[in-house]
């Protein structure tokens, strides 16, 4: 049989005790009432005797440790080798338990309010002062049901605001987070302030409309800032698409992703990430494609392009479009790219520059195709590759686009 020794409560106020010194060590035999440990309470240091005879088989609290009252600090067994049962092992983390117990539990149910039956004219001193200053009679308004009984300052304030402003004007001010009282001061007291008046007020004072930034946008901003720390260089070039068969059934984007992916698979620097301690070379060609989903920028990733056929990539691009429509990208969809593509060709953009997303070795910005030729801007992470290597990669890409045998092989 094993017996637990718990931290005793030595004083009324004691919640934790500090183990000052163990007077016995593991394996020692202990008599009943023999001092076993010195414990410092909030009031003094005291010797604590054992309540049982037996072998001290396990000490669970080190000297100097502070242990909550009631937690197990040692185990005494009848025989020297007796094993601890599992329950005791579980009790070895007393402090965590204690903390969860201390959490404050507030009443969950709605707190009931007693409705006071009071006569009209009942109002707080603050409400009365405000009413007097503005020349309104609380009693009359309460009788007309325009103010509650009792009336508080905020009731009078909102009455005054409703008197001064038309309803849509108040809502407009709310959108701009303006305090109606402050705005009212700038108007003459004669007529009700309309939405036109407050719109005018906003224009004259050049007050901006404060819009909250979505969490997606915030993480984009954070990523862009991180990207700015990447030392980057650009290479401007042209790419000739004339060898891509017109009647293949695949879009130019599909072709471009596939051929770019194959090049990246051949060129390990563009499958590389760095934390400035090491280079991490990834085994497959994963490319992220920038898509705009109702104003939010996403970069879903097409993975293992070297293994995929044009059909498969085309299907994946369709999936991306579908997911973008639904606005449902999983975390997995957005992870794992080492290179990125941004295409604004459809917006009649000749050429542009894109920012490298974090964890990518580079990005290519694709402009519109004129006479089978598109202008490309490559941005590369200079920590991973140099200008010559960037140029080498681009030459590889250009040569693939001219390689008829290779293009035919892709057609299957």
Partner 1 sequence: MLYREALNLALDEMMEKDETVVVLGEDVGFYGGNYRVTEGLYAKYGERRVIDTPIAENSIVGTAIGMALGGLRPVAEIMTANFAMLAMDQIVNSMSKLRYMSGGKLLLPMVVRMPQGVVKQLASQHSQSLESMFACVPGIRVFTASDCITAYHGLKTAIMLDDPVIFLEHTLLYFEKFEFSKDSFYNPFKARVLKEGKDLTIFSYLKMVHDVMKVVTQIENTLNISVEVIDVGPLNPLDLETLTNSVKKTKRFVIVEENPKHGGFGANILSAVLEETFYNLDAPPLRIAGEDTPIPYNRKLELLAIPTPEKIYSKIVKWGKENGL
Measured from the CB atom, the residue of 125 and 412 that comes closer to partner 1 is: 125
List of residues 6+ apart from 20 with CB closer than 8 A: 37, 38, 39, 40, 45, 63
Span 149-188, contacts to partner 1 by CB under 8 A: 150-155
Phi-psi category of 348—alpha, beta or left, where left has phi over 0 and alpha has psi -120 to 50? left
Determine the straight-line distance between the first and last CA of the chain, rounded to whole angstroms: 76
- 263-297 CB burial, b ≥16 within 10 A, e <16: bbbebebbbbbeeeeeeeebeebbbbbbbebeeee
111 binds partner 1 (CB under 8 A): yes
Phi-psi category of 304—alpha, beta or left, where left has phi over 0 and alpha has psi -120 to 50? left
Cα-atom radius of gyration of the chain, to the nearest Å? 38
101 binds partner 1 (CB under 8 A): no
Measured from the CB atom, the residue of 12 and 144 that comes closer to partner 1 is: 12
107 binds partner 1 (CB under 8 A): yes
Among 100, 101, 108, 112, binds partner 1 (CB under 8 A): 112
Measured from the CB atom, the residue of 124 and 166 that comes closer to partner 1 is: 124
15 binds partner 1 (CB under 8 A): yes
118 binds partner 1 (CB under 8 A): no
Q: Are 271 and 282 in contact (CB under 8 A)?
A: yes
Among 49, 97, 124, 355, binds partner 1 (CB under 8 A): 124
Measured from the CB atom, the residue of 109 and 405 that comes closer to partner 1 is: 109
- Give the binding range for partner 1 (CB under 8 A) out of 10-18, 57-65, 192-200, 310-318: 10-18
42 binds partner 1 (CB under 8 A): yes
Cβ of residue 288: shortest distance to partner 1, in angstroms? 40
Measured from the CB atom, the residue of 114 and 167 that comes closer to partner 1 is: 114
List of residues 6+ apart from 127 with CB closer than 8 A: 138, 150, 151, 152, 153, 155, 156
Among 12, 182, 275, 276, binds partner 1 (CB under 8 A): 12
Among 81, 86, 99, 104, binds partner 1 (CB under 8 A): 104
51 binds partner 1 (CB under 8 A): no
Tokens representing 213 are 């930034």
Among 26, 29, 33, 43, binds partner 1 (CB under 8 A): 43
Give the whole-angstrom CA distance, residue 372 versus residue 311. Answer: 22
Give the whole-angstrom CA distance, residue 58 versus residue 250. Answer: 73
Among 2, 10, 59, 127, binds partner 1 (CB under 8 A): 127
For residue 86, what is the enclosing H or E element?
A: helix 86-90
Measured from the CB atom, the residue of 157 and 368 that comes closer to partner 1 is: 157
Among 116, 185, 210, 331, binds partner 1 (CB under 8 A): 116
Cβ of residue 117: shortest distance to partner 1, in angstroms? 13
Cβ of residue 156: shortest distance to partner 1, in angstroms? 10
Strands 45-49 and 16-22: unpaired
- Give the binding range for partner 1 (CB under 8 A) out of 108-116, 189-197, 209-217, 383-391: 108-116
Measured from the CB atom, the residue of 69 and 88 that comes closer to partner 1 is: 69
Give the whole-angstrom CA distance, residue 69 versus residue 66. Answer: 10
> Does the CA dihedral 74-77-82-84 come out positive or negative?
negative
126 binds partner 1 (CB under 8 A): yes
DSSP, collapsed to helix, strand or coil, labels residue 62 as coil
- Which of 27, 22, 56 shows the shortest CA–CA distance to 39? 22
DSSP, collapsed to helix, strand or coil, labels residue 386 as coil
Measured from the CB atom, the residue of 110 and 326 that comes closer to partner 1 is: 110
Judged by the rule CB under 8 A, the positions of this chain that interact with partner 1 are: 12-13, 15, 42-44, 104-107, 111-114, 116, 124-127, 129, 148, 150-155
């Amino acid at each position: 049989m094993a017996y637990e020794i718990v931290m005793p409560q030595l004083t009324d106020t004691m919640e934790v005790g500090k183990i000052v010194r163990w007077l016995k060590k593991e394996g020692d035999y202990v008599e009943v009432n023999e001092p076993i440990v010195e414990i410092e309470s909030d009031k003094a240091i005291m010797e604590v005797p054992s309540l049982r005879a037996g072998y001290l088989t396990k000490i669970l609290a080190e000297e100097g440790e502070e242990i909550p009252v009631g937690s197990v600090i040692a185990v005494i067994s009848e025989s020297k080798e007796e094993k601890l049962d599992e329950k005791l092992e579980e009790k070895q983390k007393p402090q965590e338990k204690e903390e969860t117990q201390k959490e404050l539990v507030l009443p969950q149910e709605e707190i009931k309010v007693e409705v006071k039956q009071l006569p009209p004219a009942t109002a707080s001193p603050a409400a009365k002062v405000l009413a007097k200053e503005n020349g309104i009679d609380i009693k009359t308004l309460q009788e007309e049901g325009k103010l509650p009984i009792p009336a508080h300052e905020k009731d009078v304030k909102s009455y005054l605001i409703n008197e001064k402003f038309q309803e849509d004007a108040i809502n407009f001010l709310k959108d701009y987070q303006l305090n109606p009282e402050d705005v009212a001061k700038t108007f003459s007291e004669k007529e009700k302030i309309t939405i036109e008046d407050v719109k005018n007020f906003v224009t004259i004072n050049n007050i901006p409309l404060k819009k909250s930034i979505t969490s997606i946008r915030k993480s984009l901003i954070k990523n862009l800032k991180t990207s700015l720390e990447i030392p980057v260089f650009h290479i401007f070039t042209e790419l000739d698409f004339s060898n891509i068969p017109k009647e293949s059934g695949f879009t130019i984007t599909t072709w471009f992703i596939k051929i770019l992916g194959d090049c990246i698979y051949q060129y390990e620097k563009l499958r590389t990430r760095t934390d400035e301690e090491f280079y991490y070379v990834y085994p497959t060609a994963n490319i992220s494609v920038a898509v705009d989903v109702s104003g939010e920028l996403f970069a879903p990733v097409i993975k293992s392009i070297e293994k995929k056929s044009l059909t498969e990539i085309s299907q994946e691009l369709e999936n991306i479009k579908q997911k973008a429509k639904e606005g449902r990208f999983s975390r997995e969809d957005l992870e794992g790219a080492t290179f990125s593509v941004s295409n604004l060709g459809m917006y009649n953009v000749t050429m542009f520059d894109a920012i490298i997303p974090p964890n990518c070795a580079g990005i290519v910005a694709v402009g519109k195709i004129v006479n089978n030729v598109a202008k490309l801007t490559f941005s590369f992470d200079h920590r991973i590759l140099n200008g010559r290597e960037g140029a080498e990669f681009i030459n590889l890409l250009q040569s693939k686009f001219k390689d008829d045998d290779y293009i035919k092989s892709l057609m299957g």
